[in-house]
Amino acid sequence: MRWFRRTPKSSKPIKERHPLSGMAFKSNEAFYDYQSMFGDTKLRHGQPCFGLVIKDCSDLVPTTPPERAFLISLASQDGGISKIAKHNQLKGPIRPGDLIAWVPLTQYGPEETEWDGALIALCAPEFNDNGVKVITYF
């Protein structure tokens, strides 16, 4: 009696699904809270982290149209990390309350939270086979 499945040598490897695939949240805020409590919130060069758009602050930060500046809060176990992020509205509009992916690119100080980065995607509050579901890449 066989207790395992044998695959032919020519078969393709079986693609693994994300362990949270199919998990959906009621709101962007619920996803943010989950990510803050259970997600990897450490900032590392090139590794996306998730946050919420808090408000449009283009009137406070100098930008050139069609670029806009937003205050974002990145998921963190200590209540969130606030950053100013610039975004070209021609690549897709974002509004306060949207769930975004942000990538740290340059560390400008010794503290773990002292990073400059870029908005890379607008996300949906759910997981699919690849991780977090992306609505639009910027």
| pLDDT at position 4 | 43
Q: What is the mean pLDDT of the chain?
A: 86
pTM of the model: 0.82
Residue matched to tokens 């969130």: 80
Under 8 Å between Cβ of 52 and 28: yes
Query: Which carries the bigger pLDDT value, residue 70 or residue 22?
Result: 70
CB within 8 Å of 11: residues ≥ 6 apart: none
| pLDDT at position 47 | 93
> Cα 27 vs. chain centroid, distance in angstroms?
15
pLDDT in tens, 87-115: 888 788 899 999 999 999 999 988 888 99
> Cα 128 vs. chain centroid, distance in angstroms?
14
* Domains identified in the chain and CATH numbers: 28-137 (2.40.50)
